[in-house]
Chain A
């Protein structure tokens, strides 16, 4: 019997694995990271001794619970950290672990691949000292270091205030938080946000704390450019009152998160356009079944819902899998999870409203703005190929190399899509979907094949 495999040891993957184990299965849990927890509950190296409260703040109990869960399961499953899944074919995952390639055949797989920041470039974003919000948070959580001495946070999304708060709390100097969404949007969204009052309260708390500590928070504030000769020295931003500048030596920015869907794509899953995520997402039913019979999806990798939802979705997908292979599950539990997930979805809609996507970004982006840093493709290069008639995103990629580099469009793909849609005057969902191509992350020459 081929094994059941879970890909990703974040909140979704760990809960999925736990549920499988609880029903008597011995799944294989693959994770790219050295230690489990995913990005949100990323663990520090074993010899670091910061307390969980210090690392995770309000989320410490959840982080602890997740870590303890996996630690308690280690002799009941086959946990393989530092294992990259770089490719998938029919009923098989191709992995890379410490320079060795292997093929892992599966009977069923739960894909819990998580998310990365959604980046909308601004002039100067490739300067040393500029990080995504997620990366800034990882530097702090994992290694206990700040990205700079005087850090500015910009963009939108719940992570914006959270990371700024975490930095300030850790003793870093936060020079400003620039939230591109207007206060009015956040007021309008309050109704939906009240579906998760505790989460809403935390968001309000972060802001209040930052304000109380004298950190300037600006809403309706657009990061205009990051300046510096060899690294970040200052930035300029705009709001209704005009142009402003401030000195800083590091910037963290992002506009929410984007799902890591490459593995689902390589596994053959069908994708649908999701307006809320402004992205193509693998189809799934409420339980997490994809369009491919043996493939299940859970967590932010299948649509951004946050860590709490990911834990539930991981468990729900595992229950679906178990049911599909003939196990008897508790239907009440499945229903409870689905109802909770639906509530979070409503909250998530509120978040999108509160942290509205800057619709005018593509229109206002300068031709000279670097869009794809791997291949050094500027906004004007993409607009040029669109004007030559290449409005389909894979076609535009073929003609100007956008998304062809080391990141394979994981960083620049969302922004490239916005530019192509804007320039071709087509809706974002009518310019095609950037197809995933193996390897999901770079694959070294000289790799040895096991077996």
Chain B
């Protein structure tokens, strides 16, 4: 029997950063990961480290995350290929450009430092952007990083601070005896803790339901691909207002692009699918003409949880004291993840998070019947 202060289910960036901050705060932590830490959404996402475009309710957490990202090497011991390249959100119509203006206006108080670029300014500053873009909004301090390296490194860092990290350890049973959670793994581990953190990503719904908090979460499978290394051209990570594809170029020259949805192979594995891949290739040459003739060498997808309102669930359970949820990040959890982990650690250590999490409460689904 392992007795700890908190058991975390899920070794993605949220669970692993919670483990890190709890360990730093002197708490005994055990993290259980069914697969390998950071091997699902947290490790296979596009790698955008972006505040721009988030709902305003996420911006306090996102700004805190921005500070954490700023000291990533101190936090996790590697730079994770993180660079503040800027994030450029492109508008393909004047209507979309107006939407970017509106967002810049509404988010003004949060300190994102957005800069609106009209067609001429965009051409002058980012000549590699295609003519389909009529304008853009630039967030100069947003950027991108390598999720394959960053997310597992949070778990490694937590381990260095004393957290127990159990990989390839699927949870088979969770019970609460009125005082503590009793957790059992398929491999026979038994753990006891007063706190249980449900950070199980697309698979978190089952545990929530067990405690009477069913959520209408569905799994999505964003499609991604990468090119062979190309001459360095893109000096910002990009997205498109109203959806479409997103693209960035890493220091060694490969361009990473995402967009559209793939399909599930089974409960845990997904593929991007022919349709989404060809659509990315088609759109990419319109938005970034220099990619014409380049080659995609690899494609992939992952399994991510989505709520109907595309906002995550973060915060205490309304039915079970000691249970905290943090899941359903709708493909946008990578940047914000470390701050969410920190907020969960705050609740355990001091009883309350440093910022209100009310907008993300699981109770917002309680009036919705789940079919």
Return chain A residues, CB-CB under 8 Å to B333: none
B277–A399 contact, CB under 8 A? no
A442–B274 contact, CB under 8 A? no
- B196-240: CB near A (< 8 Å → 1, else 0) gives 000000000000000000000000000000011000000000000
- B261-276: CB near A (< 8 Å → 1, else 0) gives 0010100000111100
Q: How far is the CA of A388 from the CA of B295 in the complex (A)?
A: 32
A449 at the interface (CB under 8 A from B): yes
B152–A399 contact, CB under 8 A? yes
B296–A445 contact, CB under 8 A? yes
B298–A437 contact, CB under 8 A? yes
Of the residues A92, A388, A405, A449, contact of B297 by C-beta under 8 Å: A405
Of the residues B36, B292, B298, B300, contact of A392 by C-beta under 8 Å: B36
Q: How many residues of B contact A (CB 8 A)?
A: 31
A378 at the interface (CB under 8 A from B): no
Q: A392-B36, A404-B298 are in contact. Are A446 and B285 (CB under 8 A)?
A: yes
- A89-106: CB near B (< 8 Å → 1, else 0) gives 100101000000101000
B297–A439 contact, CB under 8 A? yes
Return chain B residues, CB-CB under 8 Å to A398: 39, 43, 148
B297–A408 contact, CB under 8 A? yes
B4 at the interface (CB under 8 A from A): no
Q: Number of contacts between A and B (CB, 8 Å)?
A: 79
B294–A445 contact, CB under 8 A? yes
A437–B274 contact, CB under 8 A? no
Return chain A residues, CB-CB under 8 Å to B296: 439, 442-445
Q: In angstroms, how far is the closest chain B Cβ from the Cβ of A10?
A: 25
A445–B271 contact, CB under 8 A? no
B39–A447 contact, CB under 8 A? no
Q: A408-B298, A437-B298 are in contact. Are A87 and B43 (CB under 8 A)?
A: no
A443–B152 contact, CB under 8 A? no
Q: How many residues of A contact B (CB 8 A)?
A: 28
Q: A405-B228, A439-B299 are in contact. Are A445 and B278 (CB under 8 A)?
A: no
- A387-416: CB near B (< 8 Å → 1, else 0) gives 010101001001100001110100000000
Q: In angstroms, how far is the closest chain B Cβ from the Cβ of A387?
A: 13
B18 at the interface (CB under 8 A from A): no
Q: How far is the CA of A404 from the CA of B229 in the complex (A)?
A: 11
Most B-side CB within 10 Å, residue of A92, A374, A447: A447
Of the residues B263, B281, B300, contact of A443 by C-beta under 8 Å: B281
Return chain A residues, CB-CB under 8 Å to B282: 446-447, 449
B291–A445 contact, CB under 8 A? yes
Most A-side CB within 10 Å, residue of B273, B292, B297: B297
Q: A399-B152, A404-B298, A408-B297 are in contact. Are A445 and B285 (CB under 8 A)?
A: yes
- B131-155: CB near A (< 8 Å → 1, else 0) gives 0000000000000000011001000
Closest to B294 in A: A445
B39–A395 contact, CB under 8 A? yes
A172 at the interface (CB under 8 A from B): no
Q: How far is the CA of A154 from the CA of B39 in the complex (A)?
A: 40
B295–A442 contact, CB under 8 A? yes
Of the residues B149, B277, B284, B297, contact of A406 by C-beta under 8 Å: B297
A438–B278 contact, CB under 8 A? no
Most B-side CB within 10 Å, residue of A92, A390, A392, A437: A437
Return chain A residues, CB-CB under 8 Å to B39: 395, 398
Q: In angstroms, how far is the closest chain A Cβ from the Cβ of B91?
A: 22
A395–B271 contact, CB under 8 A? no
Most A-side CB within 10 Å, residue of B278, B284, B291: B278
Return chain A residues, CB-CB under 8 Å to B294: 444-445
Q: How far is the CA of A392 from the CA of B300 in the complex (A)?
A: 18
Q: In angstroms, how far is the closest chain B Cβ from the Cβ of A9?
A: 23
B293 at the interface (CB under 8 A from A): yes
Find residues 146-194 in chain B having any chain A CB closer than 8 Å to their own CB. Answer: 148-149, 152, 156
Return chain B residues, CB-CB under 8 Å to A447: 278, 281-282
Q: How far is the CA of A283 from the CA of B121 in the complex (A)?
A: 58
A445–B281 contact, CB under 8 A? yes
Q: In angstroms, how far is the closest chain A Cβ from the Cβ of B291?
A: 5
Return chain B residues, CB-CB under 8 Å to A395: 36, 39
Return chain B residues, CB-CB under 8 Å to A408: 297-298
Q: In angstroms, how far is the closest chain A Cβ from the Cβ of B65?
A: 23
Q: In angstroms, how far is the closest chain B Cβ from the Cβ of A433?
A: 13
What are 29 A-B interface contacts by the 8 Å CB criterion? A92-B274, A101-B274, A101-B278, A268-B265, A388-B156, A392-B36, A398-B39, A398-B148, A399-B149, A399-B152, A405-B228, A405-B297, A406-B297, A437-B298, A438-B271, A438-B272, A438-B277, A439-B277, A443-B277, A443-B295, A444-B281, A445-B291, A445-B293, A445-B296, A446-B285, A446-B292, A446-B293, A447-B281, A449-B282
Closest 5 CB pairs of A and B: A442-B295, A398-B148, A94-B274, A445-B291, A443-B296
